[in-house]
């Protein structure tokens, strides 16, 4: 995208406002349809956000969502589960996770995907549950 440094007192033409300001803003729209209708000829890197926090970016000729990621530390329950709050605003379609923090373990399953949370099920390297165990998880949730 183009870049320009404006100086005090300098006027901007409509073309400059569109190129340097509007196309480099991340605007919030009430819904996806309103955003798509407002953007005419988007260029790669253009973005908008919806009220639920979902961010879309224009890449390779299509609007694409940006995944959410995070890291959580906590203790698993008696069945080896840890509930993670993801903040995506919609139920993710895919979630990936890796055990972090030095404790050996595997994330055997991620399930119960809701608009606010998902559950990660932890196992140790021998396949036994990590019950009531302090664990850390790095995760990515895709809309």
| pLDDT digits 0-9 by tens, 85-142 | 987 777 888 898 888 765 666 777 888 999 889 999 988 878 888 888 888 889 988 8
Query: How many domains does the structure of the chain reveal?
Result: 2
Q: Are 51 and 97 in contact (CB under 8 A)?
A: no
Question: Apex CA 104: angle with CA 117 and CA 124, to 5°?
Answer: 75
Residue 58 lies in a domain: yes
- When the pLDDT of each residue in the chain is averaged and rounded to a whole number, the result is 84
Residue 123 lies in a domain: yes
Domain that holds residue 72: 68-142
Are 28 and 74 within one domain? no
Question: Whole-model pTM above 0.75?
Answer: no
Share of the chain above pLDDT 70, in %: 92
Residue 2 lies in a domain: no
Q: Across the beta sheet with 62-65, what order do the strands follow?
A: 26-28, 47-49, 55-59, 62-65
């Amino acid at each position: 995208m183009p870049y320009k440094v404006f100086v005090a007192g300098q006027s901007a033409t409509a073309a400059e406002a569109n190129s340097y300001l509007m196309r480099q803003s991340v605007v919030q729209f009430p819904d996806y349809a309103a955003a798509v209708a407002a953007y005419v000829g988007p260029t790669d890197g253009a973005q908008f956000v919806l009220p639920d926090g979902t961010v879309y970016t224009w890449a390779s000729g299509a609007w694409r969502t940006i995944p959410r990621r995070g890291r959580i530390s906590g203790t698993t329950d008696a069945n080896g589960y840890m509930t993670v709050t993801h903040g995506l605003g919609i139920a993710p379609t895919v979630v990936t996770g890796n055990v972090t923090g030095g404790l050996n373990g595997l994330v055997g399953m991620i399930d119960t995907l809701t608009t606010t949370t998902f559950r990660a099920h932890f196992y140790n390297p021998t396949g036994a549950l990590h019950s009531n165990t302090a664990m850390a998880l790095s995760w990515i949730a895709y809309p």
